[in-house]
Chains A and B, each alone.
Chain A
């Protein structure tokens, strides 16, 4: 299992296009990827779950399990932090 923390960079939090792009990126990986905040985890490949999950400045943990877990965590954490 691989894990990394990221602070949400997008002005409007995770939703809209940033959410779609995050989900799209997550789907490129075979690993199961979760975003965790305050003890609650959601499937990073679900735009329905990811939308509204975190606001700007929130600290989110990206957690992945699978063959490409390391890459997955890096990529998703980066997208969260950049906020486009």
Chain B
């Protein structure tokens, strides 16, 4: 009985994180962007600094009419937002936030699970792009697919490097094996992983698939109301997952200079939030990469770097163990 209760509580906690964190990231993005660009942003809803703008947005999205274009492939069009969002919920189950089994479910091949399921989310964008029966959507879908194919490989290679270093595929195992000197050792892999992850989420400067000045909003052009909100939510959930994963794999997760007893989860959280801030910062700072620049960056820079990192990891691993 207590086993079932334990599992239910864990799943409930993961679900709560899934519901709350993406919204917090969204709100932070509003505010950070407003401050960095020297503009006010929404300031009235709720009084203090427009804190209730998020609620107002939610109400607005819920009220809007849910339109399916006449020429669209109805069922696939309606299914796409769920396919885009749900994988991130599944991924959150496997990400550890603290020591002593503070994880939804510790998986033997956790790193593979996380990367595999994250890849499924992109199917949602492809389905949306194709089923909308709209040329802009189709172009967006094409760009999404091309981007995924290019950036999945460096992401996997970088993750493989850290798995080699730790000698396990379990996310908990990787954090447990972490030492501070892994930071300089795996830094290249970390940068490659984070960059490729940004590209997979289609966040600026890699937002060619949704480039609003060229193809309206890519695969999501035809969406309205709640379904559109679900796509936005998927993007923010993706940021949470990517930042949490990067901090778990490359920044040591719950390890910190002090406060090891009981405060581990705070370190994970802090690293995740700092990375998420970086993601927002990048959006405000950098212009969009052109499609050919995107592909060139992946195939000529990131993949060689990831391969070099794997070689370095292998050499040092052999030197240590001998």
A binds B: no
